[in-house]
Amino acid sequence: MIQLKDINKIYDDGFQALENINLTLEEGKINVLIGPSGCGKTTTMKLLNRLTEYTDGEILVDGESIQDLNPIEIRRKMGYVIQNIGLFPHMSIYDNVATVPKLLKWDKRKIKQKVHDLLHMVNLDPETYKGRYPSELSGGQQQRIGVIRALAAEPSTILMDEPFSALDPISREQLQDELVRLQEEINKTIVFVTHDMDEAIKIADQIILMKDGHIVQKGTPHDILANPANDFVKEFLGEDRLGSTLPSTSTFVNYNYPTITTDQTTNEAIEQMTSEQIDQLPVLDGDNRLQGMVQLYDLFRQQDQLIEAVMMNTNQHISEETETNQLVDIFTQKKEKYLPYVAKDGKFIGMIEQQQVFNSLQEFYRSKRGGQ
Amino acid sequence: MNFLTELSQYMMENSSELFALTIEHILMVAYGIGLALLVGVPMGIIAARFEKLAPFIISITNILQLIPSLAMLAILMLYLGLGFETMVVGLFLYSLLPIVRNTYVGIKEVDPSIMEAGKGSGMTTFQLLRKVQLPLSIPFLMAGLRVASVIAIAVACIGPYIGAEGLGKEIISGISLQSEVKIYAGAIPATILAIIADLCLGGIEKKTKKRIA
Ligand SMILES: Nc1ncnc2c1ncn2[C@@H]1O[C@H](COP(=O)(O)OP(=O)(O)O)[C@@H](O)[C@H]1O
Ligand SMILES: [Mg+2]
């Protein structure tokens, strides 16, 4: 685990690039640093392998201050994929991938085995590619080599600075998928810098959103989609883009959610909820219009009564005209797990579950191809 | 008699003498440039590593090259006496600038992102130099070597004035004897040497550049 505590970074020219950064980078997770260009993502990342030194604060790696560790050793233990790939043009692919194992003086056979395994892992045939030079590879292939070079010495932490930003959308998409798959396989702590929200939502376990040297918000993609901290975050999430391409609201509706009518009894409602294992029911009138809601725990104290007498009148609902991108806002404001979905004429259609909205949105980003 | 037949006859008759002079010419140049590499590459590295020293180092080598060759050799002769070694020292001083400057530029020109990749992989300063900066500056060094060789082959022709032999011997004695044949017999091999050096080192330069680009 890597912890940054009250980190400030002032460059030699007096520019304060980071202010009061407090951050825990989770073990075995993909931590994504995101924010507009110049917000301090690269600076934050370079503090971790001491390519840059912080001005004050403390960085702990597994409880030990990195000031007490040898920078050369830290770098050999942390894989690093730099912003512009940075393959060594005068070295073969084999030698590029073997860079850190060679510095660590691994046994030759072990290095060979490792390089072959890694090339296989990213679907490049070792016999074909190991003797080639970087200039003989496509951009996507070079990027893969950049990634596996960082993995070669089996580091526990991998730093990746906009590793896919220079790629065409299709290669980028492929490499994102590969990274997620790889992460499940090798379970490293990954620190990943990007300025692409689609990418962040797709791959992140934790998103750290930065602006002007500050952390604006951090959390799971779900947290951030569910509770954008302010307008900056919302803007960064891109409401317009969400609205135009997202699946329609109706895809989130559970049409089979049980209902009850005003003239039924509380006992019937309790029975229905316990058998369906839910804790609330929408109440409808004879015309299928939404009248209110009943909660399981309220009803226990009010047995043998008519629903009409005990229900909470509610106007909390999502109307048929609501856009998908507004759903996140609505759920955020109302703090409800479920909300009824109602047609223009007031007739009940079904229920929408908050969890499902967020899951679907995340799924949508994960599966979206060619995101910009 | 036709001039060309006369020339070829002369060259044939004196072929072993001319061959020996050519070898000596090549040796002077090779020793001079070898020394310049030995001294100049570290100087170039130091200039690149300690940016404050760079202007100082570069201007010294620059001034060395601005001294007219005959004057430089004459001054050297005052201290080192006549002979082969004096010529080698002269050629060494002459070759220093292209080698120091090109080593310096070659190291400075290495793409910063490649340097960062090396540093970020945990290379020490020395490993960075040996594994990244020097190999990547080879095309520049080759270019410097090429310039240095062509200049050195030319400068070596005035060797006989300071007691060193080489192809200059034929040319200079040709001047004093007013023998066109002798002048050409020295000038042609010297020119061919320069052309070969230019082509070969140019070829190597191109090859190393291609791999790296
Ligand atoms: N060596 C430096 N000296 C002075 N300012 C710098 C230096 N490196 C970066 N900066 C500044 O710090 C800010 C953050 O840079 P960086 O971390 O590279 O941003 P990001 O990676 O988020 O685009 C930028 O405004 C940049 O100009
Ligand atoms: Mg950056």
* Domain residue ranges in chain A: 2-245, 249-361
Which residue's alpha carbon is at the smallest distance from atom 11 of ligand 1? A17
Neighbour count for residue A17 (Cβ, 10 Å): 20
Q: Is B122–A72 a contact, with Cβ atoms under 8 angstroms apart?
A: yes
Model confidence band, residue B150 (pLDDT cutoffs 50, 70, 90): very high
Q: In terms of CA atoms, which chain B residue is nearest residue A147?
A: B117
- Predicted confidence at residue B213, as pLDDT, reads 65
Q: Is B120–A133 a contact, with Cβ atoms under 8 angstroms apart?
A: no
- Looking at domain A2-245, its CATH architecture is 3-Layer(aba) Sandwich (3.40)
What is the average pLDDT value for chain B, to the nearest integer? 92
- Predicted confidence at residue A8, as pLDDT, reads 96
- Looking at domain A249-361, its CATH architecture is Roll (3.10)
Lowest mean pLDDT of A119-133, A287-301, B30-44, B145-159, name the range. A287-301
Pick from A71, A54, A41: which is nearest to A163 by CA? A41
What CA–CA distance (Å, rounded) separates A4 from A191?
Answer: 13
What domains are there in chain B, each with its CATH number?
Answer: 13-212 (1.10.3720.10)
Which of A13, A43, A52 has most ligand 1 atoms within 8 Å of its beta carbon, as the pocket-test mutant?
Answer: A43
Beta strands in chain A (DSSP E): 2-10, 16-25, 30-34, 56-61, 64-65, 78-81, 157-161, 189-194, 206-211, 214-219, 253-254, 260-261, 280-284, 290-295, 312-313, 318-319, 338-342, 348-353
Answer whether B144's CB lies under 8 Å from B179's CB.
no
What CA–CA distance (Å, rounded) separates B54 from A7?
Answer: 36
* Cα A52 to averaged position of ligand 1 atoms, centre (Å): 11
Which residue positions in chain A have pLDDT lower than 70?
239-246, 365-372
| Residues of B contacting chain A (CB within 8 angstroms) | 111, 113-114, 116-124, 127, 131-132, 135-136, 211-213
- Predicted confidence at residue A344, as pLDDT, reads 83
Out of B117, B122, B135, name the one closest to residue A103 (CB). Answer: B122
Q: In terms of CA atoms, which chain A residue is nearest residue B138?
A: A90
Which of A16, A32, A39, A236 has most ligand 1 atoms within 8 Å of its beta carbon, as the pocket-test mutant?
Answer: A39
Is residue A11 within 6 Å of ligand 1 at its C-beta? yes
Q: Is the pLDDT of residue B197 over 90?
A: yes
- For residue B2, list its beta bridge partners: none
Q: Is the pLDDT of residue B168 over 50?
A: yes
What CA–CA distance (Å, rounded) separates A323 from A317?
Answer: 13
A 148-207: CB under 8 A from B: 149, 159
Chain A hits for B136, CB-CB cut-off 8 Å, are: 89-90
**A100 touching chain B per CB within 8 A:** yes
**A232 touching chain B per CB within 8 A:** no
A and B: number of Cβ contacts within 8 A? 60
pLDDT digits (tens, 9 = 90+) for A111-122: 999 999 999 888
What CA–CA distance (Å, rounded) separates A221 from A201?
Answer: 5
- Predicted confidence at residue B88, as pLDDT, reads 94
- Predicted confidence at residue A371, as pLDDT, reads 41
- Predicted confidence at residue A189, as pLDDT, reads 92
Q: Is B113–A149 a contact, with Cβ atoms under 8 angstroms apart?
A: no
Chain B hits for A49, CB-CB cut-off 8 Å, are: 120
Q: Collapsing DSSP states into helix, strand and coil, what is residue B18?
A: helix
Q: In terms of CA atoms, which chain A residue is nearest residue B111?
A: A86
Which of A15, A18, A37, A81 has most ligand 1 atoms within 8 Å of its beta carbon, as the pocket-test mutant?
Answer: A15
A44-70 CB burial, b ≥16 within 10 A, e <16:
bbbbbbbbbebeebebbbeeeebeeee
Distance in Å, alpha carbon of A72 to nearest chain B alpha carbon:
5
- Predicted confidence at residue A17, as pLDDT, reads 96
Q: Is A75–B117 a contact, with Cβ atoms under 8 angstroms apart?
A: no
Percent of chain B with pLDDT over 70: 99
* Cα B113 to averaged position of ligand 1 atoms, centre (Å): 15
Distance in Å, alpha carbon of A88 to nearest chain B alpha carbon:
6
Distance in Å, alpha carbon of B43 to nearest chain A alpha carbon:
23
* Cα A210 to averaged position of ligand 1 atoms, centre (Å): 13
- Predicted confidence at residue A361, as pLDDT, reads 76
- Predicted confidence at residue A245, as pLDDT, reads 56
Q: Is B121–A103 a contact, with Cβ atoms under 8 angstroms apart?
A: yes
